Amino acid sequence: MTTTAGTGALRIVEDLAEARATVLRRAPLGEPVLPEAVQQSIDELWGEPTTPADHVRKILAAVEAEGDAAVTRFTQQFDGSSYKAVEVTGDEIADAFSQITQAQHDAIAFAVQRVRRYHETQMQHAPTSFTERGTGMLVRPIERAGIYMTGNEAALPSSVIHTAVPAVVAGVHEVYGVTAARPDGTINPLKLVAARMSGIQRIFRASGAQAVGALAFGTETIPRVDKIFGPGGIFVTIAKQQLFGRVGIDSIYGPTETLVLADDTAAPDLAAADLLAQAEHDVLATPVLITTSRAFAEAVAAEVDAQLPTLEREAIARAAVERGGAVVAGNIEEAVALANEFAPEHLCLLVEDPEAVLPLVRCAGGVFLGESSPEVLGDYTAGPSHVMPTGGSARFASPLSVLDFLKVMSVVALSAEDLGRLGPYAAELARAEGLTAHARSIERRLEGR
């Protein structure tokens, strides 16, 4: 049976089959449906009905053919900005430091320090080069990384920090950033300060699919990179999908999601606050509560209704809350099993003994234990990168880390004795596969000994 607490925003579901079909169901990825005004502008741009995928495909083709001219044309048109220089100058970056408050500067510096310290520790546990018995591997950082600095007027300096710092710690030689410009051509100073303090060496005015294309192909001004990192809007996501294989892609990121797993010892107001913190990001965000107590679910629903009107982004948060919901499970084991099934980006354990529940967790981007470890702290100053797998990809993917900026090369350094021992078996397999030249490459060596 399914019941909902009053007429509130947060629906409560007790039947698990219905929960899987509603609260815990994700729509399959497909061709996105754009707002009517956006779709109309795309059709007018190309002079014919154009799908989002074709729109991105045409932008990428133009960037590959025209370079800076196409990047600037599309970026200025879509952002409503005006500027002459694609690259942000050192003077502009220096001026940015004078445009923010001391408190903002200190907060950025603190976040950079925390994120760097965590990833330096992570680096100590990363794979290392070795050679044993004639074989091994070399671990090297990629040469060039491109960071998509998401956001425009709504600057997100935290995303810049959480994407760029792991690259620098991993030892990437060249780290470049691309970002949208404001109408007057300037860049939000918070983003510039975060970029410089995080270690981004050069910054370019470019946004959307055209920025991703510029990083993938290279232009007269923007260098071609080996791998592109960072979340973005729908057109950035489509561009990353279309360029996968031609350039390295970190991941495909969807709307944010948080699953709060709570028992009746948790504080309903804090559980509601955690749900709303993610809900205010985007109308497509998914806040979910799984609890072992119907009474607790109702208390959280009441708190959500009480806290929503206090938010500046109430309409956005309300729409997201209505997408999510609360599920009442029979016990903690069942609740964790549902959470693993959903594989959320963020999993918050507001239970009496979170350390005892942690061993049961199998699938989540990040796990936040107890009331003193809210997910919002992870967004800013906890340490691990807040760039995490979404859409259920936590079943097979991991948060952004130093590992994403490293690559492994296999090494084979065998002796003549090793050749004599391994060679006959290799030659036999080669002939079995009908690859005579392969076999002869080994046999000639063995015959010449």
Annotated catalytic residues are 345-346
Q: What is the dihedral of CA 424, 426, 431, 433, to 10 degrees?
A: 160
Phi, psi for 429 (deg, rounded to 5) = -65, -40
Cα–Cα dist 85/89, whole Å: 9
Phi, psi for 363 (deg, rounded to 5) = -140, 105
Structural tokens at position 261: 């797993």
Structural tokens at position 186: 């300037």
Cα–Cα dist 212/239, whole Å: 7
For helices 208-217 and 234-243, give the axis angle rounded to 10 degrees.
30
Find out whether 5 and 298 touch, Cβ atoms under 8 Å: yes
Return the closest-CA partner of residue 179 out of 93, 67, 59.
93
Laid out side by side, the sheet with 130-132 consists of 130-132, 135-141, 406-412
Structural tokens at position 70: 């196409």
